Amino acid sequence: MSQKQKFPLAVSELETALAFSGVGTADQLSSQYGSTSLSSSPAMQQGSLLQTLPENRKNKKPRGGRATGSQNFTEGDRRRALSVIQRVKPFGANKWEQVSNEYNIISWSEKRKERDGDFLKNYYTDKVREGLSKPTGDPQLSWELHEVKLIRQEIDGLLQMGSIEDNYDSGENEDQDDQEIDMLGDTGEVNSSLSAIVGEDEYLLENQREQEEPPYTRNKAHYWEEEEKRATQSPGIPEKSPKVRMSIERHTCQQPTTAINANHLLSQMVTAIEKDTGKRDSDFKAIQVMRVALEKCEARYDSLESRYDRLEQRSYQLEDENRSLQEEIMRIRK
């Protein structure tokens, strides 16, 4: 490949310069000095640099920086986001879409910018990582990190309660179920004899039954007949009464806690304060404009008042002159 095909831009510039200087063409110089010296000339090096410059720009890696839109994420926006996160408790992948939808509804009503689930998730995870290095009782801990720690503790509590209910469903705690409190009998009414723990009541009733029975001197058939008669005469006690499992109620899922309500109320207060601050700034600017206009009016009034004083003095002088002229006219007539 020739030098013209390899460096067309540099060769064309070089030929133009040589034509004006009268030294000769590029082919004459290349034949005189050789291709090596010509390719190592500053013009050729500049041409190669210009050709490789766009490729270097393409391979250039972007620098890091703040996330897009993070500079417009005000304190009121952060409080609204944390209140929604605390209410939804997103411990699953699809929960962040719900967080984004609820946050955008509030933001739309407050005329703020909408955020997607990835932005809110990154904001929450960054604050969690930042709060891991600081204890909860640190007096220098900001309200933001404190709220994030509380939200994380509530989510961990929900996950632990879910694992406990899974253990109940799998049958690992059947021995503990036998010791649960039996609240209702077969008829649905409160059974006073079974109001205590089932195992202890059965033990006491069995001892009482053994004391009332006669000594075992008859055959087994007669014994079972007596048992059936006794069962028909007195109300029987079931061998194992139905149990009412005391399930763990998720109060945090059924209704918002006091902290969530307080956080939501605080976010509304911050938004109202921001609006009031903006209105106050506009009112302050209007007051400044009115003060400037008032100062101009006062200066105009002072100038008019001084002019009025001068005119009044001139009027007095003219009256004196008029009076003196009248007296002189009277003397002339006499």
What are the tens digits of pLDDT across the range 32-74?
A: 555 444 445 554 555 454 444 444 454 555 554 455 555 678 8
What local confidence, expressed as pLDDT, does residue 329 receive?
A: 92
What local confidence, expressed as pLDDT, does residue 318 receive?
A: 93
Residue located via tokens 């909408």: 114
What local confidence, expressed as pLDDT, does residue 197 receive?
A: 46
Q: Percent helix, strand and coil across the chain, each rounded to 5?
A: 70, 0, 25
Indicate if the pLDDT at residue 311 is higher than 90: yes
* Residue extents of the structural domains in the chain: 75-134+142-159
Indicate if the pLDDT at residue 254 is higher than 80: no
Indicate if the pLDDT at residue 310 is higher than 60: yes
Please count the other Cβ atoms lying within 10 Å of the Cβ belonging to residue 146: 15
What local confidence, expressed as pLDDT, does residue 124 receive?
A: 87
DSSP 254-287: HS--HHHHHHHHHHHHHHHHHHHHHHHHHHHHHH
What local confidence, expressed as pLDDT, does residue 209 receive?
A: 58
Q: For residue 216, name the pLDDT band (cuts at 50, 70, 90).
A: very low
Q: What CA–CA distance (Å, rounded) separates 89 from 84? A: 8
Q: For residue 322, name the pLDDT band (cuts at 50, 70, 90).
A: very high
Q: How many DSSP H helices and E strands does the chain contain?
A: 14, 0
Q: What is the pLDDT of residues 159-215, one digit of tens each?
A: 777 655 555 455 545 455 454 444 444 444 444 444 444 455 555 556 655 555 554
252 Cβ contact partners less than 8 Å away, ≥ 6 residues apart: 89, 154, 157, 158
* Percentage of residues in the chain having pLDDT higher than 90: 6
Give, in order, the Cα–Cα distances in Å from 233 to each of 16, 143, 196. 129, 70, 25
Q: What CA–CA distance (Å, rounded) separates 120 from 199? A: 53
What local confidence, expressed as pLDDT, does residue 165 receive?
A: 53
Range of lowest pLDDT (80-84, 104-108, 209-213, 288-292): 209-213
Q: What is the pTM of this model?
A: 0.32
Indicate if the pLDDT at residue 251 is higher than 60: no
